[in-house]
Amino acid sequence: MEKMRINPVQAILAAVVILCAAGLSEALRPTELLASTQRAPDLEKVIPKQFGQWHLIPNVSLVTPSEPETYLKSELEARIYSQEVTRAYADTDGNMVMFLVAYGPVQNYRLKSHLPEVCYGAAGFRVSAKTVAEFTYQAGVAPLTVSRLIAQKERRFEPITYWMKVGGDVATGVFDRQIARMKYGLQGIIPDGALIRVSTVGLSERASYELQDRFIHDLLEALAPRDRKFFTG
């Protein structure tokens, strides 16, 4: 059988292409942390424990993205989330909402916020009816795009509203989150990120979302403009 001869010129060109591709990949790799230039607020301090008609309810357990017994190892979680606030609030009529904010300084390929679909699914919930909606929280300001879904486990029925921050952009799912990360990556920046989630138990789907919208509106209104920007982009 005749041996295949390698053209020296083609071999050199192939080697040059490989080296250039490797160099370009390294040059485009994000290296600057957005969190190092834009410090996130201390969420435990800036999120009020009482505002409008809402007051804090202690000792209420929430499904969180940092439960090591579900899907996330505690060592990795410590690198993903540097701040996590979980609270429950009730209004003057006794209606309760559960509220979670999880913030991480790095949102890259491996270390990225986890969607509530994953958190609840790993905790044994059946997740369904995901939709995307626009929520107007302030006149004259672009509406906030949020995701809504239903989590059910045995007799527990929990409608959820959430959105995610990737740098200064709002994301509601995997696709737009990846687009935001790519946008920052092309600038050589590794964005930070946050998950903001509100949920209710014991109400119908419609009543739950109406209550959640009122809670989000009242919370954003109670925040200082600089802190509000952290939540809304």
Q: What is the 3-state secondary structure (H, E, C) of 163-196?
A: EEEECCEEECCHHHHHHHHHHHHCCCEECCEEEE
What percentage of the chain exceeds 90 in pLDDT?
A: 40
Count of helix runs (H) and strand runs (E) in the chain: 7, 11
pLDDT digits 0-9 by tens, 33-61: 555 556 778 999 999 999 999 999 998 88
In three-state secondary structure terms, 145 is: strand
Give pLDDT < 70 ranges for the chain.
Answer: 1-38, 65-81, 107-114, 174
pLDDT of residue 110: 45
User: C-alpha angle with apex 164: 232 to 66, nearest 5 degrees?
Assistant: 130
Residue for token digits 């509220």? 99
Per-residue model confidence (pLDDT) at position 34: 57
pTM: 0.76
Distance separating alpha carbons of residues 64 and 101, to the nearest angstrom? 9
